Amino acid sequence: MFQEPLAFYKLIILYMLDRVDFPLTKAQIMDFILAREFISFLTLQQVVGELVDEDLIKTEAIRNRTHLIITDEGRDTLSYFRHRIGEGMRTEIDDFFRQNELKMRSEASVLSDYHKSTSGEYEARLIAKDNGITLIDLTISVPNEETAGQICDNWQRKNQEVYMYLIETLF
Protein backbone atom coordinates (compact mmCIF):
# COMPACT_ATOMS: atom_id res chain seq x y z
CA MET A 1 0.00 0.00 0.00
CA PHE A 2 2.63 2.55 0.91
CA GLN A 3 4.16 3.85 -2.28
CA GLU A 4 4.87 7.52 -1.77
CA PRO A 5 3.32 10.01 -2.48
CA LEU A 6 -0.08 8.34 -2.80
CA ALA A 7 0.14 6.61 0.58
CA PHE A 8 -0.43 9.87 2.42
CA TYR A 9 -3.64 10.55 0.48
CA LYS A 10 -4.83 7.01 1.11
CA LEU A 11 -4.34 7.58 4.82
CA ILE A 12 -6.27 10.85 4.68
CA ILE A 13 -9.22 9.09 3.04
CA LEU A 14 -9.09 6.21 5.52
CA TYR A 15 -8.91 8.69 8.40
CA MET A 16 -11.92 10.61 7.05
CA LEU A 17 -13.98 7.43 6.63
CA ASP A 18 -13.00 6.24 10.10
CA ARG A 19 -14.05 9.53 11.72
CA VAL A 20 -17.76 9.22 10.85
CA ASP A 21 -20.47 6.69 11.61
CA PHE A 22 -22.18 7.12 8.25
CA PRO A 23 -20.96 6.54 4.70
CA LEU A 24 -19.34 9.49 2.98
CA THR A 25 -19.83 10.08 -0.69
CA LYS A 26 -16.88 10.19 -3.01
CA ALA A 27 -17.87 13.78 -3.80
CA GLN A 28 -17.71 14.80 -0.12
CA ILE A 29 -14.19 13.43 0.23
CA MET A 30 -13.12 14.96 -3.07
CA ASP A 31 -14.52 18.34 -2.03
CA PHE A 32 -12.34 18.35 1.08
CA ILE A 33 -9.16 17.19 -0.65
CA LEU A 34 -9.51 19.11 -3.92
CA ALA A 35 -10.44 22.37 -2.15
CA ARG A 36 -7.04 22.27 -0.46
CA GLU A 37 -5.33 21.60 -3.79
CA PHE A 38 -3.49 18.61 -2.36
CA ILE A 39 -3.66 16.53 -5.53
CA SER A 40 -5.38 16.53 -8.90
CA PHE A 41 -8.79 15.03 -9.57
CA LEU A 42 -7.31 12.21 -11.66
CA THR A 43 -4.76 11.30 -9.01
CA LEU A 44 -7.51 11.28 -6.39
CA GLN A 45 -9.56 8.93 -8.58
CA GLN A 46 -6.51 6.66 -8.78
CA VAL A 47 -6.09 6.72 -4.98
CA VAL A 48 -9.74 5.77 -4.40
CA GLY A 49 -9.47 3.00 -7.00
CA GLU A 50 -6.38 1.57 -5.31
CA LEU A 51 -8.05 1.66 -1.89
CA VAL A 52 -10.95 -0.33 -3.35
CA ASP A 53 -8.59 -2.78 -5.10
CA GLU A 54 -6.71 -3.30 -1.82
CA ASP A 55 -10.02 -3.95 0.01
CA LEU A 56 -9.37 -1.07 2.40
CA ILE A 57 -12.63 0.60 1.41
CA LYS A 58 -15.72 -0.53 -0.42
CA THR A 59 -18.05 1.43 -2.63
CA GLU A 60 -21.80 1.43 -2.85
CA ALA A 61 -23.37 3.14 -5.85
CA ILE A 62 -26.75 4.68 -5.19
CA ARG A 63 -28.17 6.47 -8.20
CA ASN A 64 -25.70 9.25 -9.02
CA ARG A 65 -23.67 8.98 -5.82
CA THR A 66 -20.87 6.68 -4.83
CA HIS A 67 -20.67 6.05 -1.10
CA LEU A 68 -17.34 5.01 0.39
CA ILE A 69 -17.15 2.79 3.45
CA ILE A 70 -14.01 1.80 5.32
CA THR A 71 -13.51 -1.95 5.74
CA ASP A 72 -12.12 -3.74 8.79
CA GLU A 73 -8.85 -4.16 6.89
CA GLY A 74 -8.87 -0.42 6.21
CA ARG A 75 -9.30 0.29 9.93
CA ASP A 76 -6.46 -2.08 10.78
CA THR A 77 -4.20 -0.42 8.22
CA LEU A 78 -5.08 3.02 9.55
CA SER A 79 -4.32 1.96 13.12
CA TYR A 80 -0.80 0.95 12.07
CA PHE A 81 -0.04 4.09 10.09
CA ARG A 82 -2.21 6.81 11.70
CA HIS A 83 0.94 8.47 13.05
CA ARG A 84 1.94 9.34 9.47
CA ILE A 85 -0.90 11.84 9.31
CA GLY A 86 0.33 14.97 11.03
CA GLU A 87 -1.53 16.54 13.92
CA GLY A 88 -2.30 19.61 11.79
CA MET A 89 -3.95 17.52 9.08
CA ARG A 90 -5.97 15.51 11.60
CA THR A 91 -7.14 18.77 13.20
CA GLU A 92 -8.10 20.19 9.80
CA ILE A 93 -10.15 17.08 8.99
CA ASP A 94 -11.78 17.08 12.42
CA ASP A 95 -12.68 20.78 12.04
CA PHE A 96 -14.12 20.09 8.58
CA PHE A 97 -16.40 17.41 10.06
CA ARG A 98 -17.45 19.64 12.96
CA GLN A 99 -18.48 22.35 10.50
CA ASN A 100 -20.15 20.08 7.92
CA GLU A 101 -21.33 16.97 9.76
CA LEU A 102 -25.05 17.77 9.80
CA LYS A 103 -25.13 18.52 6.08
CA MET A 104 -23.02 15.46 5.25
CA ARG A 105 -25.05 13.18 7.52
CA SER A 106 -28.24 14.43 5.90
CA GLU A 107 -26.87 13.73 2.42
CA ALA A 108 -25.94 10.20 3.48
CA SER A 109 -29.27 9.59 5.23
CA VAL A 110 -31.55 10.44 2.34
CA LEU A 111 -31.30 7.87 -0.41
CA SER A 112 -33.17 7.34 -3.63
CA ASP A 113 -32.77 5.06 -6.60
CA TYR A 114 -34.90 3.54 -9.32
CA HIS A 115 -34.89 0.48 -11.54
CA LYS A 116 -37.02 -1.14 -14.21
CA SER A 117 -39.27 -3.81 -12.71
CA THR A 118 -40.16 -7.15 -14.28
CA SER A 119 -43.58 -5.72 -15.20
CA GLY A 120 -41.90 -3.08 -17.39
CA GLU A 121 -42.67 -0.18 -15.09
CA TYR A 122 -40.11 1.70 -13.05
CA GLU A 123 -39.85 1.53 -9.28
CA ALA A 124 -38.50 4.52 -7.37
CA ARG A 125 -37.22 3.54 -3.93
CA LEU A 126 -37.03 6.34 -1.38
CA ILE A 127 -35.29 5.96 1.97
CA ALA A 128 -34.72 8.30 4.90
CA LYS A 129 -32.60 7.29 7.87
CA ASP A 130 -31.65 8.87 11.15
CA ASN A 131 -28.71 7.56 13.17
CA GLY A 132 -28.78 4.32 11.19
CA ILE A 133 -32.48 3.75 11.84
CA THR A 134 -34.72 3.63 8.79
CA LEU A 135 -37.51 6.18 9.20
CA ILE A 136 -39.14 5.49 5.87
CA ASP A 137 -38.53 3.04 3.04
CA LEU A 138 -41.02 3.66 0.26
CA THR A 139 -41.25 2.15 -3.23
CA ILE A 140 -43.42 3.81 -5.85
CA SER A 141 -44.22 2.24 -9.24
CA VAL A 142 -44.40 4.68 -12.14
CA PRO A 143 -44.85 4.18 -15.90
CA ASN A 144 -41.56 5.62 -17.16
CA GLU A 145 -37.94 6.26 -16.31
CA GLU A 146 -38.23 10.05 -16.50
CA THR A 147 -40.91 10.10 -13.80
CA ALA A 148 -38.89 7.75 -11.60
CA GLY A 149 -35.87 10.04 -11.94
CA GLN A 150 -37.96 13.11 -11.06
CA ILE A 151 -39.33 11.38 -7.98
CA CYS A 152 -35.82 10.52 -6.82
CA ASP A 153 -34.60 14.08 -7.42
CA ASN A 154 -37.57 15.55 -5.59
CA TRP A 155 -37.06 13.16 -2.67
CA GLN A 156 -33.61 14.67 -2.10
CA ARG A 157 -35.16 18.14 -1.76
CA LYS A 158 -38.55 17.39 -0.19
CA ASN A 159 -38.05 14.29 1.97
CA GLN A 160 -38.74 16.07 5.26
CA GLU A 161 -41.99 17.57 3.95
CA VAL A 162 -43.16 14.20 2.61
CA TYR A 163 -42.22 12.40 5.82
CA MET A 164 -44.05 14.96 7.99
CA TYR A 165 -47.11 14.78 5.73
CA LEU A 166 -47.22 11.00 6.07
CA ILE A 167 -46.80 11.14 9.85
CA GLU A 168 -49.51 13.78 10.24
CA THR A 169 -51.87 11.94 7.91
CA LEU A 170 -51.35 8.45 9.27
CA PHE A 171 -51.24 9.21 13.00
- Residue 145 confidence (pLDDT) above 80: yes
Average pLDDT (80-99) is 92
Average pLDDT (109-129) is 89
Q: Give the domains, in start order, of the chain with CATH numbers.
A: 6-108 (1.10.10.10), 109-170 (3.30.160)
- Residue 34 confidence (pLDDT) above 80: yes
Average pLDDT (34-43) is 84
| pTM score | 0.70
**Spatial CA neighbour of 119 closest among 103, 100, 139, 149:** 139
Per-residue pLDDT at 69: 92
Which of residues 52 and 28 earns the better pLDDT score? 52
Backbone angles phi, psi at 59, to 5 degrees: -115, 150
